[in-house]
Structure 1
Amino acid sequence: MSDTIQFQAPAPRATAVLDEAHLGDIHGALGTIRLGDTAARNGLSAKLKTLLAIIGPGLIVMVGDNDAGAFATYGQAGQDYGTRLLWTLLLLVPVLYVNQEMVLRLGAVTGVGHARLILERFGTFWGAFSVIDLFLLNALTLVTEFIGITLASGYLGLPKVASVVLAAVIIVASAFTGSFRRFERVAITLCAASLLLVPIYVMVHPAASRMARDFVVPSLPGGSGQLATVMLLVIGIVGTTVAPWQLFFQQSYVIDKRITPWFMRYEKADLWLGIVVVVVGAAAMMGFTAAAFAGTHGFAHFTDAAGIAAGLQAKAGTVAGVLFAIALLDASIIGAFAVSLSTAYAIGDVLGLKHSLHRGVSGAKGFYAVYAGLVAAAAAIVLLPGSPLGLLTEGVQTLAGVLLPSASVFLLLLCNDRAVLGPWVNGPRTNAFTAAVIGVLVTLSVILTAAVLFPNISATAILQIMAACGVAGVIVAGYAFTRRRSGTVEDPIDRTGRDTWRMPPLETLTKPVMSTSYKIGMGALRTYLVIATVLVIIKIVQVALGR
């Protein structure tokens, strides 16, 4: 009889991961991390290899948001107002980081997508609303990506139909390989190509000193007479930089990449990399567009992204225009990747379908059908004669701006749910900052809704809306502070052991207790969203019929 003592490894702790394909080795585009490899990374080389393997979710979600709509929005800001709106990008950096950091935390810790968490923790209405909202908004956003493809291919002299069909085939084929690594390599290659905006900036060479000043000194160009127009453009910049689909995409992509809490700091570094790339790209666009149109007849007369390419050609030569068109084509394809995936992930999560890029088509038919169906439908709409493409682009930006506050509200609530995040829940500073951001987003959403319903809204009316929302925000903050001081103090958050903590299966979680104030707040949010969305859609239909 052997005297060797054998120890039985403890059974792995049950988690809420819904698809077994989301468990296993991390097969990133730039490296591999084996399942269970939690050894300390002590040397610079080891840390760099780990970071390279993790890079992907943060980079793709950020660069994917510098898509066709972003090219139009940043280009319009530069062509119509020079670089005087650059400061908006700097202010958005902490918003981008805090929002996406909360999302990646939810993904790594829970193993469950954003839409499914909303469904399970807030009920059927909000779960269905979030998925239907995401599906419709993403479908429209995909159309704008293909509009970008047609503008870029048209400038390059390529046939429209062939370009759209080829782009759709590339977008679908890249995801249909059954290999997460192959898809991510394609996506990161496209992210690298987005840096084509930098040489365009060098070729046009806008005044660096002026840009530096406009980055840090906020101003609203045009005077009081143009305040309404400028405010709507600022809202467009916010809406195109902080889009609802980003939340759903990154949470599910982190899960699909099999990233766990152990690698949280590396994923945060990946997120910062993406933020730097997106801000550099956006600033470059504003800068070289401002320089290209300054002192020309095109200044303050934005048309579309193809017009920007023509302006760059006139300013810096054919190469600059061609590079911009290629960058637009690249951005449109990246955006289409991310938007389609966010929808397919969300629907797979909520309906219980297998939903992973690690699976082949035969192993996740529903997931791939949603992805391919969205891409095919968007391509077909763009090719239909007489499609109101310009109106669709405006409608996407408007609906995204109206619906963004609700996405941020649920994100904040989920990140304070101790049953969901345990030791990873938000701290007081994150909550205070996020609450302030939500207040600003609600204000911008109300202004945008009012501007759609009343196109000739005055600057005075916008200031009155801002003042009213500010007063309401102070009242709500005061009420929350009073409740916190007079109510029962929660136990302090125990952060020990959080590197290995994962959310238990959803069916084992206790349901959150809904206070009266919570129900009133959620009821008010539901009423506003339904009314605002219906009114905006009616207005868009009226404009379409009028045209």
Structure 2
Amino acid sequence: MTDTIATPAAPQPRAAVLDDAHLGDIKGALGTIRVGDDAPRKGISAKLKTLLAIIGPGLIVMVGDNDAGAFDTYGNAGQNYGTSLLWTLLLLVPVLYVNQEMVLRLGAVTGVGHARLILERFGKFWGAFSVIDLFLLNALTIVTEFIGVTLAVGYLGLPKTLSVLVAAVVVIAAATTGSFRRFERTAVLLCAGSLLLIPIYFMIHPSTSTMAHDFVVPGMPHDAKLADVMLLIIAIVGTTVAPWQLFFQQSYVIDKRITPRFMKYEKADLWIGIVVVILGAAAMIGFTAAAFAGTPEAGNFEDAAGIAKGLEAHAGKLAGVLFAIALLDASIIGASAVSLSTAYALGDVLGLKHSLHRGVRGAKGFYAIFAGVILLAAVIVVVPGSPLGLITTGVQTLAGVLLPSATVFLLLLCNDKAVLGPWVNGRWTNAFTSLVVGVLVVLSIILTASVTFPGITSGAILDIMAVCGVAGILAIGYAELRRRRKGWALAAPVDRRGKESWRMPPLDELPKPVMSTGRKIGMSALRLYLLAAMVLVVVHIVQVALGN
């Protein structure tokens, strides 16, 4: 008898996943995929079961952004300007998809959170900056979510203080069970609650032809100040594309244990979320426009509670109640998602165990951060005399100022071959995202100028847009001229063979990134702009607070 010698299997490369709780079965709200399940998905039934198991990250991050602030912004747009700004939602669809697709790609391929990647690839300054500004902005955003709770329960006739505290406890309890699946089932149920906006739409029945026209044909409201309209457009962009989304989805994809193998199902999940969020936003603009048209309240938006009262006057008590419940639902899911993005980011950079698969004992620091920001926001809202209106304004302004930098880092990370290997961006994704960054920078400059100088004129806004446009053209021309002088070729096509099994190596094995002179100049300019813009905004907010 001849002995046979088994050939050892080739060793699997180490991945960079930072927490062992992020390895194992995918345990989604609607299904399970066992670790090592590499069977091909053939047939509609198998593909549908896989999609149901994957659904969650894209849906939650999108619906979570249709939160209390979004209700306020879309209600403002519909009540003050009718359906004339619906087209902004259509333009935001590709922005939402490209941004969040890059994030889910980073999560599935790297196994490392967004904040940690920024820290490791761009240094301590940008790592600290990203986490600190995220923490501050998220804390203020959660305050606005609990303001939404007070508006909803106030209309429903419930005690505000008790309701806010109960909502805070519910949010904390849903996330601290030690079961990822339980949290996701709760979150998906809350996402389903956002569909309450659809029956309100049919109860109010705005003009379908007008809605369809204004959705696809860009236009501006008649007899409206350009400055006011531009600020509202910026608010719509800021409430639909928010910095916390990037940090949340990347970490949540990792926590759900989704790998590149299931990328196409996660993209489908993202599209489902985008459809739900756009339908909800369009419904709010449509039914507020129809309900308030021809009434003394048209053009005099106050808050979401006023919308509920207006819907009641137009279509009956049920319409108002459904809107209030939808607002309460949106505020709770928004508070949950934004708080988790904070806890995930800080857990990443501080080296804390951070996973919903762990119980409180197994991740004390992670859950302490999560519960802490929730309770802090709830207390601020219930304390008499808190400057809630100022906080709401501050959130919208700071989000607009910080969004361009978040997108810049996202774009740079998705072109880092050491991080994404065969998953790096292609030419068209880079071109589109660069255009988006340019537009966001222009909107951010307009927002900063309008906050710093409240009396800014329409002519000044047009001048800012013209100067930024010329500067952008000159920058593109300089870059192309420099490329030709240096003899640099355009980026070669990326070799994407074997990408389904490619994962980023451990962070300590990655080569250090090389910063070109142009990129260093650009990053320095971005740093100076962000610091200057934030100082100007904070100074103005303090002046307003002292004036009040």
Task: Give the TM bin, normalised by the shorter chain.
Answer: over 0.9
- How far does residue 121 in structure 1 lie from its aligned partner after superposition? 0.4
For 2:133, the equivalent position in structure 1 comes to: 133
Distance in structure 2 (CA, Å) of the matches to 1:250 and 1:233: 26
Q: Aligned-pair distance for 1:178?
A: 0.2
Which residue pairs with 1:391 in the alignment? Answer: 390
- SS for the counterpart of 2:42 is coil
Q: Which residue of 1 aligns with 2:198?
A: 198
Cα displacement (A) at 1:538: 1.0
- The separation in 1 between residues aligned to 2:235 and 2:159, in whole angstroms, is 31
Q: How does 1:39-188 map to 2 (within 5 A)?
A: 39-188=39-188
Return the offset for 1:103.
0.3
Counterpart residue identity of residue 519, structure 1: K
* Counterpart Cα distance in 2 of 1:213 and 1:112: 43
Alignment of 1:328 onto 2:299: no
Which residue is 1:410 aligned to?
A: 409
Asked if residue 210 in structure 1 is aligned to residue 216 in structure 2, the reply is no
Aligned to 2:399: 400
Residue-by-residue CA offset, 1:492-538 (whole Å, 9 max, x unaligned): 41100000000000111111111111111100000000010011011
Q: List per-residue Cα deviations over 1:234-283 (Å, max 9, x = no partner).
A: 00000000000000000000000000000000000000000000000000
Match in the other structure for 1:432: 431
1:313 corresponding residue in structure 2: 312
Give TM-score scaled by structure 2 length: 0.98
What's the TM-score once normalised by structure 1's chain length? 0.98
In structure 2, the partner of 1:505 is 506
- Return the letter of the residue paired with 1:56: G
Q: Distance in 1 between matches of 2:428 and 2:478?
A: 18
Q: Could you tell me which residue of structure 2 aligns to residue 475 of structure 1? A: 474
Give the drift of 1:220. Answer: 1.3
Partner-residue secondary structure (3-state), 1:354: coil
| Matched residue, 1:525 | 526
Following superposition, the deviation at residue 487 of structure 1 comes to 4.2
Query: 1: distance between equivalents of 2:347 and 2:450?
Result: 36
Matches within 5 A, 1:216-235: 216-223=216-223, 226-235=225-234
TM-superposed CA distance for 1:309, in Å, is 0.2
The one-letter code matched in structure 1 to 2:511 is T
Letter in 2 for 1:465: I
> Alpha-carbon deviation of 1:10?
3.5
Structure 1 match to 2:347: 348
Task: Give the whole-Å Cα distance in 1 for the aligned partners of 2:2 and 2:243.
Answer: 61
Deviation at residue 37 of structure 1 after TM alignment: 1.1
Counterpart residue number, 2:285 = 286
Taking the aligned partners of 2:453 and 2:3, their CA distance within structure 1 comes to 85
The aligned amino acid for 2:168 is A
Q: Distance in 1 between matches of 2:51 and 2:349?
A: 31
Taking the aligned partners of 1:221 and 1:418, their CA distance within structure 2 comes to 45
Aligned counterparts, 1:356-371, within 5 A: 356-371=355-370
TM-aligned CA deviation for residue 7 of structure 1: 5.1
Summarize the Cα distance change of 1:2–1:61 in structure 2 as closer, same or farther, 3 Å threshold. farther
Cα distance in 1, alignment partners of residues 176 and 250 from structure 2: 21
- C-alpha displacement at 1:9, in angstroms? 3.9
What is the CA-CA distance between 1:219 and the residue it aligns to?
1.0
> Could you say which residue in structure 1 is the equivalent of 2:269?
270
- Which residue type is aligned with residue 355 of structure 1? H
The secondary structure found in structure 1 opposite 2:353 is coil
Structure 2 alignment gaps of length 5 or more: none
Please tell me the residue identity of whatever aligns with 1:18: L
Q: Deviations over 1:116-172 (max 9, x none)?
A: 000000000000000001000000000000000000000000001110011000000
Q: Cα RMSD over matched residues?
A: 1.1
- SS at structure 1 position matched to 2:27: strand
- The one-letter code sitting in structure 2 at the alignment partner of 1:377 is L
- Matched residue, 2:20: 20
Post-superposition CA distance 1:190-225 (Å, at most 9, x none): 0001000000001000011000000011111134x6
Report deviation, 1:480. Answer: 2.7
Against the structure 1 CA distance between its residues 346 and 297, is the aligned structure 2 distance closer, same or farther, given a 3 Å change threshold? same
- Count of equivalent residues: 546
Cα distance in structure 2, aligned partners of 1:285 and 1:257: 32
Q: Which amino acid aligns with 2:201?
A: Y
Q: Does 1:244 align with 2:243?
A: yes
**Cα deviation digits, residues 278-297 of structure 1 (max 9, x gap):** 00000000000001100000
CA distance in 1, matches of 2:141, 2:2: 67
Q: How does 1:414-493 map to 2 (within 5 A)?
A: 414-485=413-484, 486-489=486-489, 492-493=493-494
Look up the match of 2:537.
536
